[in-house]
Amino acid sequence: MTVTLADVAARAQVSPATVSRVLNGNYPVAASTRERVLRAVDDLDYVLNGPASALAAATSDLVGILVNDIADPFFGIMAGAIQSEIGGPGGRAGGERLAVVCNTGGSPERELTYLTLLQRQRAAAVVLTGGAVENTAHATAVATKLRKLGEAGTRVVLCGRPPAPADTDAVALTFDNRGGGRELTEHLIGLGHRRMGYIAGPEERTTTRHRLEGHRDALTAHGIADEPARTVHGRYDRRAGYEATIELLRREPDLTAVVAANDTVALGACAALRDSGLRIPDDVSVAGFDDLPFSIDAVPALTTVRLPLADAGARAGRIAMGREEVPPGGIATIRGELMVRGSTGVPKGA
């Protein structure tokens, strides 16, 4: 029996127009209403139309690429590399695939909405990039979406994201953020730093937790106390890096190094240190993470952990198109590389 939009509306106890607004994302809808609609869509396994429902294993020429923030070079580089691999032979319409970049803005609700829309359109493939939100209910909802996409014939690849449950059949190319964070802090410890401030990303993100765990692992291994006052959480942007650095200096004026959650945050940290009359690295060393293109052009050039974002994105694209074998067990861990540059040095007076 074909499930209709009216069936979804009745299940969610809303109007058909509201269901349409939620699924098309073209009109504001209250979060609680959106959740009811999406739950009804999942419960009834609603798809775009009758023919699509009858062809449950069929897929279109559409490929969805989910990013947190397309303006962030971290996501832009991966999205561009993924898109470069999804065209060409294999598509049914002129040998091409249509790539749609879905910008979630970091919203868990938006992420679920996009996955629902891609499921309805029988996307050929879906690639999710970046860290996941650490919320049990959201993780369960995402796993359900990925499971249904896989059952409908959609290839699902996670790029720079932790693995999903095995029964989703999603391939995961995951970055070793924990190992990179540990190596970066060990580099600073090796230079003689003991009073290091850490600017972490949003607390709900897996990337944030893993990089911070690596930092703390290095401190513990060298017998250095992990002082809570030396860690500040914020967004993954320059302004957050600036504000967090000012706060760290207020809490502990004698810091000799600042480790930033990513390179953009590190740029904000550098600006705050300069505005505070401190020299880099003479007075305070600064380190970032990712090795985004601007990092080597910063003054001084930024010490960071290089993640092969373009290579990982291209590989994700090839796997999504079935042009590269799935790694053993469906999971591959991609290590970063420590890039030592001018922004870190021996602490003053050492």
Domains and CATH numbers, the chain: 1-46 (1.10.260.40), 177-308 (3.40.50.2300)
Location of structure tokens 């914020």: 234
CB contact at 8 A, 286 and 303 = yes
The DSSP call for residue 6 is: H
The token pair that represents 66 in the structure block? 């989910």
In tens, the pLDDT along 276-292 reads 999 999 999 999 999 99
In this prediction, residue 93 carries a pLDDT of 38
Distance between CA atoms of 95 and 81, rounded to whole angstroms? 19
CB contact at 8 A, 157 and 170 = yes
Contacts of 295 (CB under 8 A, 6+ apart): 263, 266, 288, 301, 302, 304, 339, 341
Distance between CA atoms of 153 and 119, rounded to whole angstroms? 10
In this prediction, residue 20 carries a pLDDT of 81
> What is the identity of the amino acid at 94?
G
> What is the identity of the amino acid at 113?
T
In this prediction, residue 94 carries a pLDDT of 41
The token pair that represents 236 in the structure block? 């993954």
Residue 50 or 4, more confident: 4
In this prediction, residue 95 carries a pLDDT of 53
The token pair that represents 284 in the structure block? 């305070």
pTM of the model: 0.84
